[in-house]
A = this chain, B = another copy of it.
Amino acid sequence: MSTYRVTFLPEGKEVEVEENITLMQAAEKAGVYINTLCGGKGVCGKCRVQVTDGKVLADKHSIGFLSKEELMEGYVLACQTKVSSDMEVVIPPESRLEAEQILMEGTVVDYSQPAKVFVSKVPSDPLSLFEPLVQKIYLELKEPSSEDNIADSDRVIRELRKKTEYQTFERSLRCLRDLASELRSNNWKVTATIAKHGDLWRILQIEPGDTSEQNYGLALDVGTTTVVAQLVHLKSGNVLGVAGSHNLQSHYGEDVISRMVFACSREGGLNPLHEAIIKDINNLIKSLTDDKGIGVEQITAIVAAGNTTMSHLLLGLVPCSIRLDPYVPTAHAFPQIRAAELGININPEGILETVADVASYVGGDIVSGILACGIADRQEVKALIDVGTNGEIAMGNNDWMVCCSASAGPAFEGGGIGCGMRATLGAIEKVEITNGRVEYHTIGKAKPRGICGSGLIDAVYELVRNGIIGQEGKFNRSTKHERVIERDDEPQFIVAYSHETETGKDISVTESDISNLVRSKGAVFAAIKSLIDYVGLGFDQIDTFFVAGGFGSYLNIPKAIAIGLLPDIDPKRIQFVGNSSLMGARMSLLSTHAFERTAKIASMMTNIELSTYLPFMDEYVAALFLPHTDRKLFPSVDYKH
């Protein structure tokens, strides 16, 4: 089999690849990220690249996504084009997947000084009781004598009982193996690593001397798009660092559905997805530990939170039935395992706990978020909304919890939107139209490359407010604006002209973009409304709405209310919490009580399956208006024309 050299511009990254693999795969191998929404099926057209040197085989898939001029200039879809010669390929700006601003931490409670939060020993607030899942206890043992000749492991346990006040310990075979020599060659001074396992503590390892300071844990948010890891010093609770990366599974599909399809439509399809996430995690661990000069074997615990599909893919569990009616996963609760069993590169005895899921589309990330926001610990009713491709909503208090998820479509993440993109460098994230004049802001103040979810919400709000579109989302034929044009038989509003943009093309919002957004916000609002009606409450009775996820942090709350995405309540009662999943994972790592609470939250939660819940469809249809067909629901919203 021949091999060819492919060079990716503008980075100039080169890679040697075998004949007939796709340019997408070559890019993956070269460490170059190319945009994709469909996972390489040739149906989203987001991965267009320009071949500037080398042979291009006729590619009928590209037709329809590329204009005649583009085809002449060598544009192809990277996922559909096979390497058949040495090639030079330019990745245009709109096809690049730049590092998103990955949400590292939330804002509800200031956990930036976790040691202060977690040193409380007041049992009345169990979640803040500092008690890491894995602890290293330094022991100075009394040497055996004929009066005191209990077995070595009993001696260790006797001292552990004294030092920790825990009663029940389990010996692992591994830690027993060399125990006798370890104790004797280290003058009976050793450090025991113990991990909470159900109702007891398992002794993971015995190390010479006092290593109790060298004990680290990893809080992991395994998102569909991004994976974020936080390195925590388990003895003090201090956060030492945080790192994020794209979920490498993106190469096999953009969203959970396409990844499940990939995993389940071929023999062994699960393996590359499982391996991709493990690789991600190992990369993050390497970067965090290299940074701090910490050995990976000093990491003894991981708590991972992710949606149900991510949990399954992380643990290598067959995910296929999750997406098929009646939406049944393999498990909601997961066993504690050794992280090394999955190939995760920490201490070989180090544990991995996975936060329990609730249902096929309400995962451990939501449970972790509820923990972090303290929703299940207080009497007031609070709600958590995580808006992405799926909108997940949970609501309740210390007595009851309900949740649901609604397929919002990819509009909030820039999918299905002509000039849409993720909230990354160059995305238009804010738009204002004043007296016909347009002002916009981009992420990183870069030249605009597209428009992201929050930018789109702004734009639509401004278009309605300025009477350019009507409340049903259609362009107002009677209102003239120089930026409103008709192209490809569709009316659209130009937000940024071609000369201003990185791509050299107009960035505009079309009528079908608006329609996509309206459907997305309609689904989310209908889900919130259905859940509130289900429990018989009104919006006013919800003490706080927490908004989680990457989308939330760029959102303008009054505008989100004005288009009817969020309910019309006092904006002060709406709080962005950022990555509450990560926050909950860290709390779990540092408090066995908090971790045990996640299992309780997951099991106390009632999931409302919206696809079979009749009132939802009516709510959805009613919400396909800006802000809503029922004006009484949005008393404060008043578009002035």
| A residues lining the B interface (CB < 8 Å) | 144-146, 148-155, 170-173, 176-181, 184, 198-200, 315-321, 325-335, 337, 341, 360, 609, 612
Taking CB atoms, residues of chain B closer than 8 Å to A341 are 173
Given contacts A146-B612, A609-B146, contact A331 B171 (CB under 8 A): yes
Taking a contact as CB atoms under 8 Å apart, the answer to whether B145 and A331 are in contact is: no
**Which residue, of A153, A331, A360, A612, has the highest number of chain B Cβ atoms within 10 A?**
A331
Name the residue on B nearest A359 (C-beta). Answer: B149
Q: Closest approach, in angstroms, between the C-beta of A229 and any C-beta of chain B?
A: 21
CA–CA, A173 and B153, complex, Å: 28
CA–CA, A198 and B609, complex, Å: 38
CA–CA, A331 and B334, complex, Å: 31
Taking CB atoms, residues of chain B closer than 8 Å to A321 are 144, 152, 180, 184
CA–CA, A154 and B150, complex, Å: 42
In-complex Cβ contact of A331 among B148, B176, B327, B328 (8 A):
B176
Given contacts A148-B326, A152-B329, A171-B331, 13 further A-B contacts (CB under 8 A): A144-B321, A149-B609, A151-B329, A153-B333, A154-B332, A171-B334, A173-B316, A173-B334, A173-B337, A173-B341, A176-B330, A180-B319, A199-B199
CA–CA, A144 and B318, complex, Å: 16
Taking a contact as CB atoms under 8 Å apart, the answer to whether B335 and A176 are in contact is: yes
In-complex Cβ contact of A150 among B317, B325, B328 (8 A):
B328
Taking a contact as CB atoms under 8 Å apart, the answer to whether B179 and A330 are in contact is: yes
Taking a contact as CB atoms under 8 Å apart, the answer to whether A318 and B181 are in contact is: yes
CA–CA, A401 and B298, complex, Å: 45
Taking CB atoms, residues of chain B closer than 8 Å to A330 are 151-153, 176, 179-180
Taking CB atoms, residues of chain B closer than 8 Å to A609 are 146, 149
Given contacts A180-B317, A326-B144, contact A335 B172 (CB under 8 A): yes
Taking a contact as CB atoms under 8 Å apart, the answer to whether B176 and A315 are in contact is: yes
Taking CB atoms, residues of chain B closer than 8 Å to A146 are 325-326, 609, 612
Name the residue on B nearest A175 (C-beta). Answer: B335
Taking CB atoms, residues of chain B closer than 8 Å to A317 are 176-177, 179-180
In-complex Cβ contact of A335 among B144, B148, B170, B337 (8 A):
B170
In-complex Cβ contact of A149 among B180, B315, B327 (8 A):
B327
Name the residue on B nearest A143 (C-beta). Answer: B326
CA–CA, A109 and B533, complex, Å: 70
Q: Closest approach, in angstroms, between the C-beta of A45 and any C-beta of chain B?
A: 33
